[in-house]
A and B are shown apart, each in its own frame.
Chain A
Amino acid sequence: MSVRLSTGGRLIDRATEISFSFNGARLKGYAGDTLASALLGSDQMLVGRSFKYHRPRGIVASGAEEPNALVNMGEGARFEPNQRATTTELFAGLSATSQNHWPSLEFDVGALNAKLSRFLPAGFYYKMFIHPRSFWKHVYEPFIRQSAGLGRAPDSEDADSYEHFHLHTDVVVVGGGIAGLLAARAAAVTGAKVLLMEQTAHWGGRAPVDGGLVDGQPVGDYIDALVRELSEMPNVTLRLRCMASGVYDHGYLLGYERVRDHQPGAPGPRHRLWRVRAKQIVTATGAIERPLSFAGNDVPGVMLASAVRDYLVNYAVSAGKRVIVATNNDDGYRTAIALKQAGQEVLRILDARETGGGALMAEARRLGIRIDCGRAIGKVSGGKRVKKVQICAYAGAGGALEEVACDAVAMSGGWSPVVHLWSHCGGKLTWDAEQAYFRPDATRAPTGADGQPYVVPAGSANGVMMLDAICGDAVEAGRAAAKAAGYKLKKAAAIEAEPAPETPIEPVWMMPRDARVQLRMKAWLDYQNDVKVSDVQLAAREGYESVEHTKRYTTLGMATDQGKLSNINGLATLADALGAEIPAVGTTTFRPPYTPISMGAIGGEARGAVFQPLRRTAMHGWHEKNGADWEPVGHWRRPYAFARSGESVHDAVMREVKNTRENVGLLDASTLGKILVKGPDAGKFLDLLYTNMMSSLKPGKCRYGLMCNENGFLVDDGVVARIDDETFLCHTTTGGADRIHAHMEEWLQTEWWDMQVYAANLTEQYAQVAVVGPKARMLLEKLGGMDVSAETFPFMTWQDGTLGGFDVRAYRISFSGELSYEIAVPTAQGLAFWEALVAAGKEFGIMPYGTEALHIMRAEKGFIMIGDETDGTIIPQDLGLNWAISKKKEDFLGKRAQERAHMTDPNRWKLVGLETLDGAVLPDGAYAVAEGVNPNGQRNTQGRVTSTYYSPTLCKGIAMGLVLKGPERMGEVIEFPGTDGTVFKARIVDPVFYDKDGEKQNV
């Protein structure tokens, strides 16, 4: 059983007890504990069930590499699944539950899978669920989805906030262990700006646990002094609880700071995503111990030797009272020694090496620990916790020599440098056969825009494992980074660390070496995804030679821990099965993030009110107060209709159309684009942009124009007003304002740079109000100021003047077919002007109208709408707009394209009006069917609906559509099948339904 010892624990504060709950049980820990150490301190060795076989699982590791101890954290709005107990700091009131079990952790039905494990080998899903094909969607997929996934999805909105933080710096050092701290100081003393990130809540990494002397001081004391020194340097920033999650091109690095995970509910963001541009990155990310692959290595109580040591030294928690240590290297002895010194019983050290280790073995022996060399674990027995261990010869098939009862096993298979960040952006690895690990290959570093390396590995992340060598390596790394960042180096004093030579490791990829198949089937490589030695061997037998393919076939390394413990053991097993060398098999690709980061951190501040920018006109608030039903148009919100209380939106639209046609309506047209184009060549420029002639427009006049792209397709339309000889104001569609401005700038800057033209986007400078309807003039006359009579202010002209005391620019243009003035005032007076119109218009029956009434009125008039009648494949000729295409101009954007054979094909669908025989409204987007079927067996088509509305003016459905030879087929009836089996019959008619001669707008 795991226990809290009565003394010790360098990170805990025994004076502060913290109560928390696990699966509903009240437990106690201390301030400074992690959830994992507190659980172990409470003898909670079983913490979850495995993914596939639902095997009982306990805590294996003490850090980010933990595969098993994933818990559901918190409740309600702070619930989050898959939180690693080993990296969760304990706080008062913490509530966690275990995952992947039903009905309970102790008794789990899914564990039946384990009994069926011989029927669930690698690739089972691929083999089983391929036939019959029709079963996939309705039988297999729902079943697999139900059984897949760890943890639950949260079901309420996240209560916390998140943020990003951008910065540029010279050097980022990743990892706050002895190597990171020394590298940071070495870089900082040159004057370089340094950011040091440490993912845990403490500085120092493993060194204070493993011990040693640096410059004559215990390494823990040395580190404390170093941190004090760094924190006083103005050019150094130290961040705890901040993990470097990924390294990207050009020195971009993401840091994931867990600001409030340990203080939920405290003000401030829960996580902060650091978005860093660094000149150089030092990866002092340490190393991770490898498990040993023996049968039963997943029974709760079997732990990494380093983790056993961490829990003991940092938290005064012993993994067991009677412990067996299995190792293939000297480092495992440190755990045995630490346990013995803490008064725990170490039953055996099983050293797979025939001749054992060096100085550390001697030390263990001196302490009276029994050491068996050339021995291995044959099998660990016990269900929910370790009960006994069968000991066998390492060089053998697993024949038990002895059986020993114990309650914990510490295993050490050697160490693997954490090379993830080095590898994210292309850093290559080299296999160090002597030390049995992949380490960064300094000659193949990730390189930046200048072709020079920008990542420098340091310490054990660089494959330097001994304290004395780590110190030297780290200083060198820090100096190299500073130098590469452009700082001058001065001579640095050497750091003296006490050398502690170790005897070489003997690689052990399977224990015992020739384990029989029954043992291999219980020897886990990947705990979280339940991949065993036998699965990888099976994949190899079935022809999976590539490590990437084997990974996907077996799911090795595909769990949330991304194989931090399993990768190297897995690929070594594959290499062995293939009879290949390990470096020939290679590793899978390391990709960010290093450990999972929250979606909240990625989204940053973008949620709630600031999820997306909302563009507001000056009258937005008025609309809101007056019942606007909003329609999103780009980032704007425009009123779709102003529904009155008790009125449906549809009824409101009908009322708005009728009132505008009979009295007077107001439309907020502020969102329409207004681009000022000025210069001696402005006319020439606009002649090239628009299909029709603009240079001939007289100052004071307005002209409707079409804009095409160079492929001939219609991209925007609007009214151009000529202000003076050199100046035009181009109105664009709402969605086109920024796009057309950019389009103009692109042509001016890249192709027609010799033209003397400047453009400025004035869209937001003006609030624009369309005053529309037969009583529009009466209303403006009442406001008074400028002369708005037909004689002095005719249709398609503009004038500056005043109305009701407001300085205005008024345009006599109409998109509704009614008498209409579009009036622009400075935005800062937009609301006041709108309110003045509303007040003055009362006696004329004024009502605001929204975009749907606008759409209906323009459709009644047969006016096209960019985005309805066009979709990026439509040319003006398709829409019967030939009148707006100049035949005189030598050139304009789209002219050449519109002459291509496909564009002049008489069979292109063309715009017509459509009138259902019974007055019904055609479904939007409906297709008109033609005789016969196409090669896919679908009905042939001969047209489609582009706009369709109920017209309150005409009291029937009206529509526009594109129809094969449409204009030649006036009066013909074609059929539009609906989606519900009904067929709509519609007659092809002229698209202008209302006031064909334009008498109403020109009064």
Chain B
Amino acid sequence: MSEPTSALNRAEFKGIAKVEETGLHGMITLRGDQSSAAIKKAVLSVAGTVMPEQREAIFSDTGGVVWMSPDELMLLCPYSEVEARVAALNEALAGTHALAVNVSDARTVFRVSGPAARDVLSKLTPADLSPEVFGPGQVRRSRLAQVSAAFWMEDDETFGLFCFRSVAQYAFDLLKVAAAEGSEVGYF
């Protein structure tokens, strides 16, 4: 086995906001009935958080849980722990109809940060990023220009986002264009 590599090898760009590919992350798609006690318990024991509400993202020291749809969650964890956590989920969910699967290699994670971060992302996504409706603790599944993406806020000036790994270069190039020097909008 060789050292796994992320799509862009932690590429960075600094313009009116900072754009970073943040390397490999453990990601688990968990599909199941979010109202069931078994799923809630499995999430609590494996991810260490309560079940997020609609459009919520809850983070703990070693990962987080992102709401993706009424029957889908994305569990985040260190890359090295992902197989163990999938196994733990499967064990916790034995006998429950659910699907837990490692999708860490199918995604690329970026961070976009700085005072202009909301402006930069608003160039690419039609989601409402006003601070009144979107802030830390929230997640949106939307698009970045022509590809789908999900994003949340780590703090009021920092977005985490992921897209499919195959379009990592496109997403990075997009974010570079949106964060290009001289393109300040000054809206948010």
Q: Mark A850-882, 1 if CB is under 8 A from B, else 0.
A: 000000000000000000000000000000000
Q: Is the CB of A764 within 8 A of B164?
A: yes
A614 at the interface (CB under 8 A from B): yes
Are B182 and A266 within 8 A (Cβ)? yes
B181 contacts A268, CB within 8 Å? yes
Determine which of A613, A763, A764 lies in contact with B170 in the assembled complex, contact meaning CB atoms within 8 Å: A613
Chain A neighbourhood of B106, CB < 8 A: 762-765, 827
CB-CB under 8 A for A636 and B187, given A165-B123, A760-B103, A829-B4: no
Residue of A nearest to B164 (CB): A764
Segment at the A interface, from B56-64, B153-161, B172-180: B172-180
- Expressed in whole angstroms, the Cα–Cα distance for A356 and B183 within the complex equals 54
The reply to whether A828 and B105 contact each other, CB–CB distance below 8 Å, is yes
Interface flag for B166 (CB, 8 Å): yes
By size class, the interface of chain A is: 35 or more
CB distance from A506 to the nearest CB of B (A): 48
| Contact in complex: A163, B31 (CB < 8 Å) | no
**Is B128 interfacial (CB-CB < 8 Å)?**
yes
Q: Are B99 and A676 in contact (CB under 8 A)?
A: yes
Closest residue of chain A to B146, judged by CB? A613
A166 and B187 contacting across the interface, CB-CB below 8 Å? no
Is A827's CB under 8 angstroms from B183's CB? no
Q: How far is the CA of A272 from the CA of B185 in the complex (A)?
A: 9
Residues of A within 8 A of B40 (CB): none
How far, in Å, is A241 (CB) from chain B's closest CB?
Answer: 13
A764–B165 touching, CB < 8 Å = yes
A172 to B159, CA, bound (A): 27
Answer yes or no: A164 CB below 8 A from chain B CBs. Answer: yes
A159 at the interface (CB under 8 A from B): no
Contact present for A806 and B1 (CB under 8 Å): yes
Q: Which residues of B contact A269 (CB under 8 A)?
A: 180, 182-183
Task: Tell me if A826 is interfacial: C-beta within 8 Å of chain B.
Answer: yes
Q: A267-B181, A614-B170 are in contact. Are A765 and B130 (CB under 8 A)?
A: no
Q: Quick one: given A268-B180, A616-B166, are A164 and B1 in contact (CB under 8 Å)? A: no
In whole angstroms, what is the CA distance A236 to B187 when docked? Answer: 10
Within residues 94 to 145 of chain B, which ones have a CB less than 8 A from any CB in chain A?
Answer: 97-99, 101-107, 119, 122-130, 133, 145
A residues near B130, Cβ cutoff 8 Å? 167-168, 193
Question: Which residues of B lie under 8 Å from residue A165 when comparing CB positions?
Answer: 119, 122-123, 185, 187
Q: Assess whether A596 is interfacial by the CB under 8 Å rule.
A: no
Contact of A166 among B103, B122, B173 (CB under 8 A): B122
* Chain-B contact segment, one of A80-88, A357-365, A400-408, A603-611: A603-611
B163 to chain A, nearest CB (A): 9
Q: CA A17 – CA B130 in complex, angstroms? A: 43
Please, which residues of chain B bring their CB within 8 A of the CB of A805?
A: 1-2
Select from chain B the residue with minimum beta-carbon distance to A621. B169
Q: Which residues of B contact A617 (CB under 8 A)?
A: 166
A residues near B35, Cβ cutoff 8 Å:
none
Interface string of A612-651 (1 = CB under 8 A from B): 1111110000000000000000011000000000000000
B interface majority secondary structure: loop
Complex Cα distance, B29 from A167, in Å, reads 30
Task: Report the minimum CB–CB distance from B59 to chain A (whole Å).
Answer: 23
B65 — which chain A residues lie within 8 A by C-beta?
none
Which residues of chain B are within 8 angstroms of A266 by Cβ–Cβ distance? 182
Tell yes or no: B167 within 8 A of A by CB: yes
| Chain B neighbourhood of A836, CB < 8 A | 2
A807 at the interface (CB under 8 A from B): yes
Residue of B nearest to A670 (CB): B166
Q: Which residues of B contact A764 (CB under 8 A)?
A: 105-107, 164-166
Complex CA distance for A612 and B169, rounded to whole angstroms = 11
**How many angstroms between the C-alpha atoms of A762 and B164 in the bound complex?**
11
Q: Which of A710-760 contact B (CB under 8 A)?
A: 756, 758, 760
* A760 & B185 in contact (Cβ 8 Å cutoff): no
- Is B147's beta carbon under 8 Å from chain A? yes
Interface bin, chain B: 35 or more
| A605 contacts B167, C-beta separation under 8 Å | no
Asked whether B36 is an interface residue with its Cβ less than 8 Å from the other chain, the reply is no
A793-812 to B contact mask, C-beta < 8 Å, 1/0: 00000000010011100000
Say yes or no: A760 contacts B101, CB within 8 Å. Answer: yes
Chain B: CB-nearest residue to A612: B146
A164, B123: Cβ atoms under 8 Å? yes
B105 (CB) vs chain A CBs: closest residue: A827
**Chain A 155-183 interface 0/1 with B at a Cβ cutoff of 8 Å (1 = within):** 00000010111111000000000000000
A807 touches B1 (CB 8 A): yes
Known: A161-B180, A168-B128, A827-B105. A614 touches B169 (CB 8 A): yes
Q: Kindly identify, within residues 22 to 50 of chain B, every residue whose CB is under 8 Å from any CB belonging to chain A.
A: 24, 29, 31-32
Instruction: Knowing A168-B128, A805-B2, A828-B24 are in contact, say whether A267-B180 is a contact too (CB < 8 A).
Output: yes
> Using a CB-CB cutoff of 8 Å, which residues 65-85 of chain B contact chain A?
71
Q: Which of B103, B127, B168, B181 is close to A765, meaning CB atoms less than 8 Å apart? A: B103
Q: A residues 657-700 with Cβ under 8 Å of B?
A: 676, 678-680
Q: How far is the CA of A610 from the CA of B170 in the complex (A)?
A: 6
The answer to whether A762 and B122 have CB atoms under 8 Å apart is no
B53 interface residue, CB < 8 Å from A? no
Please indicate the chain A residues that have their CB under 8 angstroms from the CB of B101 in the complex. Answer: 676, 760, 762, 765
Q: Which listed residue, A167, A606, A609, A766, touches B122 by the CB 8 Å rule? A: A167
Contact of A250 with B by CB under 8 A: no
Answer yes or no: A832 CB below 8 A from chain B CBs.
yes
Does B91 sit within 8 A of A, measured CB to CB? no
- A605→B177 contact, CB < 8 A: yes
Shortest CB distance A558–B (Å): 33
Q: How far is the CA of A461 from the CA of B18 in the complex (A)?
A: 44
Q: Which of A76-111 contact B (CB under 8 A)?
A: none
B165 touches A827 (CB 8 A): yes
Distance, CA A829 to CA B5, complexed state (A): 7
Q: Is A390 an interface residue (CB 8 A)?
A: no
B179 to chain A, nearest CB (A): 11
Are the C-beta atoms of B128 and A163 separated by less than 8 Å?
no
Q: Hey, what's the 0/1 contact readout for A255-275 against B, CB within 8 Å counting as 1? A: 000000000001111001001
CB distance from B126 to the nearest CB of A (A): 5
Bound together, the chains give a CA A614 to CA B164 distance in angstroms of 11
Complex: A163 Cα to B122 Cα, angstroms: 10
Checking B29, B105, B133, B184 against A826 with a beta-carbon cut-off of 8 angstroms, the contacting residue is B105
Q: Chain B nearest CB: distance from A938 CB in Å?
A: 41
Cβ–Cβ contact B102 & A605, under 8 A: no
Q: Are B24 and A679 in contact, CB atoms less than 8 angstroms apart?
A: no
Contact indicator B177/A610 (Cβ below 8 Å): yes
A606 x B145 contact (CB < 8 A): yes
Contact B105 A616 (CB under 8 A): no
Complex CA gap A537/B122 in Å reads 52
> Are A680 and B181 in contact, CB atoms less than 8 angstroms apart?
no
Minimal beta-carbon separation of B31 from chain A (angstroms): 4
Assuming A268-B181, A614-B170, is B105 touching A766 (CB within 8 A)?
A: yes
Q: How far is the CA of A974 from the CA of B137 in the complex (A)?
A: 69
For the complex formed, measure the closest distance between the CB of B166 and the CB atoms of chain A, giving whole angstroms: 4
Is the C-beta of A831 less than 8 angstroms from some C-beta in chain B? yes
Q: Is A588 part of the contact surface with B, judged by Cβ < 8 Å?
A: no
Nearest CB in chain B: distance from A731 CB, A: 16
Q: How far is the CA of A267 from the CA of B169 in the complex (A)?
A: 23
Which residues does chain B contribute within 8 Å of A161, judged by CB atoms?
177, 180, 183
How far apart sit A615 and B168, CA to CA, in the bound complex (Å)? 8
By the criterion CB–CB under 8 Å, are A615 and B167 in contact?
Answer: yes
A387 to B32, CA, bound (A): 84
* B residues near A609, Cβ cutoff 8 Å: 170, 173
B58 CB to closest chain A CB (Å) equals 22
A interface list, Cβ under 8 A from B: 161, 163-168, 193, 237, 266-269, 272, 275, 277, 604-606, 609-610, 612-617, 635-636, 676, 678-680, 756, 758, 760, 762-766, 802, 805-807, 826-829, 831-833, 836
6 other A-B residue contacts (CB within 8 Å) besides A269-B180, A275-B126, A613-B147: A269-B183, A606-B146, A615-B166, A616-B168, A676-B101, A828-B5
Q: List 12 A-B residue pairs with CB atoms under 8 Å apart, sorted by A's residue number.
A: A163-B178, A167-B122, A267-B182, A609-B170, A609-B173, A613-B147, A614-B169, A615-B167, A616-B169, A678-B99, A760-B103, A805-B2
